[in-house]
Structure 1
């Protein structure tokens, strides 16, 4: 079995079912199978060989889905690129991966024109629409050059590379996680089990498809089970609400930040969201207050599936089932069935219930390693265990709780303070739209707590009230020493808070 075979199997079972909806375009599984088969043939006819890397830079569009499945069907390696990056960052990923071909949206033509001369390994570029640079071949003409009904290459094995997925790079240069076909398929088994997915779902895909959650979970699940993937090109709260109503979507997945924007939109009450029966959240901790609001906003869900993972695990490690949403406050659920997860101390010893240490995991979903980075691989995978960098604990029922990022823990006056704990408290205030807590240098205490807060429109909340809220709910030494108000909390495209950026903003402000 390989990832391309998932589409072939489903096209054989449900040829006329709608596979993709994107804007005004609708493709059946038969059409998606035929077009990706032809495109895969065109890639091989252009001189690429199994194992070569293919870059792709798209919004959530039909060409992104087609380019991805054509690439993996041809035995090539997909390299999705974050469209929010600067040209220099894109060039690094294309060069580091050794991409031989590059598919991209014509909107990015000026960026690509600026970096093309430095990309010596690229043999050709393809784009759906003419760009002013004239660098790319026309997408439809290139696809038409492939053979209709061409057979997929034989010998694409589960252990062959399927993707090189670059980490978000919130700290340091991004690393390319080499994800095999085996990794993707076992992640699929885990995720379907944890999310309790079924045939025939209609899933809204908002997360960008260059991210493992959107690509390997949200899209691939629908392809494997014969569901419909409704692609959202750019997030717009009211547009998303209208899409849910129009398509009678049954599944929605997103980050806590996205859900907050959706529920806070002035037009939120005007749209019918009753078709949604499954709601999943990931990328960051979903506060209990947000869960309760989501269960009111989507009246036919039984709770929220809280999904935890990382790029290196393809990505899923644990999922809290909807039925446990309110029973297991702050939990990410038990480890998924086809992997092992443990809590480990600094000495490499496994810890018992409710002891805090680093969450590690091993299983067939864990990446092969980082591309061209043996040192990074050796630091991430030790004795077969993937080190997530997250501090966690496991209760006596086997449910996991993320305490914080290992690198984000604040040590103030010898006391360990976990930012996530404060953030949970801040989210309970009705006038706080978003929040993040970081440690800042302190000459006396080593580090002190700073709360960055984004208020809802019209709020007059002051810093003293924020501090008092924390004091009323936590030990006094954990309260923020300072509170900074921002229009919005900076996050990366997957919804994770950019705490490095927050510290930089504070340092810039303090030195001016």
Structure 2
């Protein structure tokens, strides 16, 4: 099939919204979004990020499991040239401490809890006692019902912001060689290592994978593995989006 012309993930979703206006882009439990609906919500998240002062090249941490918000934040960041940094949702408190210090994120989106892990409590224990280790971190946005002093909740963070209507200026939008996201290795023998992946290469890789699999528009790709792994974000997500397929989380 014809390869997409887009060179960043935000443009890719917008391109497919025009090409496949009736196709579902993502199914995540009860949440569903067509390509146009996803593009609209991504623009809203991009507007909220810009209003929060996030600028090109700044990093956004994501301690989030496979859900619609993960996609919205990741693609929305690309609209303004920001860099998503997904964290493992298996991380314990000391690992979160390392990731926050090493990644130098300015904003963190985090679940309030995942499984038996209480991330709101972990973050409350780390901040402010160890805040000097994360000098770049200014804002925490929680997804869930728990409260964390000084944080914001995701719904109110996004609410009230109109979708980003104008096209980002050339100096702001992500280019093919800009970083799409920074993924951390598993850290099985040492601390995890940060690995940057570029927009253009990630899109081309995803398209090649989809072609090899014979993926067609409208078909569904089930992803039981985490999006914070390269198999999830760089492979399955990008193979789906480059082919107008549906990513099932």
Q: TM-score range by the shorter chain?
A: 0.7 to 0.9
SS in 1 for 2:127: helix
Cα separation, 2, equivalents of 1:81 and 1:75: 19
Cα separation, 2, equivalents of 1:152 and 1:123: 27
2:135 paired residue among 107, 114, 120: 120
1:450-493: CA deviation from partner (whole Å, max 9, x where unpaired): xxxxxxxxxxxxxxxxxxxxxxxxxxxxxxxxxxxxxxxxxxxx
Cα separation, 1, equivalents of 2:9 and 2:68: 18
In the alignment, is residue 226 of structure 1 matched against residue 244 of structure 2? Answer: yes
2:191 paired residue among 173, 188, 191: 173
2:122 paired residue among 111, 121, 138: 111
Report deviation, 1:149.
4.2
TM (normalized to structure 1)? 0.43
Report deviation, 1:143.
1.0
Contact 1:74 1:152 in 2 (8 A): no
Q: What RMSD, in angstroms, separates the aligned Cα atoms of the two structures?
A: 1.6
The residue that corresponds to 1:18 in the other structure is 24
SS in 2 for 1:99: coil
SS in 2 for 1:51: coil
Report deviation, 1:152.
4.1
| Aligned residue-pair number | 231
Cα separation, 2, equivalents of 1:103 and 1:152: 25
Contact 1:127 1:138 in 2 (8 A): yes
Cα separation, 1, equivalents of 2:74 and 2:8: 13
1:150 paired residue among 165, 169, 177: 165
1:293-323: CA deviation from partner (whole Å, max 9, x where unpaired): xxxxxxxxxxxxxxxxxxxxxxxxxxxxxxx
Report deviation, 1:3.
1.7
- 1:44-443 correspondence runs (5 A): 44-107=50-113, 108-117=119-128, 118=131, 119-155=134-170, 156-231=174-249
Structure 2: gaps of 5 or more residues: 1-6, 114-118
Report deviation, 1:69.
1.0
Contact 2:108 2:139 in 1 (8 A): yes
Cα separation, 1, equivalents of 2:123 and 2:161: 25
Contact 1:3 1:185 in 2 (8 A): yes
Q: Following superposition, which runs of at least 4 residues in structure 1 exceed 6 angstroms of deviation?
A: none
Structure 1: gaps of 5 or more residues: 232-512
Report deviation, 1:65.
1.3
The residue that corresponds to 2:36 in the other structure is 30
Contact 2:142 2:151 in 1 (8 A): yes
1:412-456: CA deviation from partner (whole Å, max 9, x where unpaired): xxxxxxxxxxxxxxxxxxxxxxxxxxxxxxxxxxxxxxxxxxxxx
SS in 2 for 1:198: coil
Q: Which protein is bigger by CA-based radius of gyration?
A: 1
The residue that corresponds to 1:471 in the other structure is none
Larger proportion of strand: 1
Contact 2:180 2:196 in 1 (8 A): yes
Report deviation, 1:217.
1.3
Cα separation, 2, equivalents of 1:189 and 1:205: 17
User: Which fold has the larger relative contact order, with Cα–Cα distance below 8 Å and residues 6 or more apart in sequence?
Assistant: 2
Cα separation, 2, equivalents of 1:23 and 1:185: 26
Cα separation, 2, equivalents of 1:169 and 1:42: 33
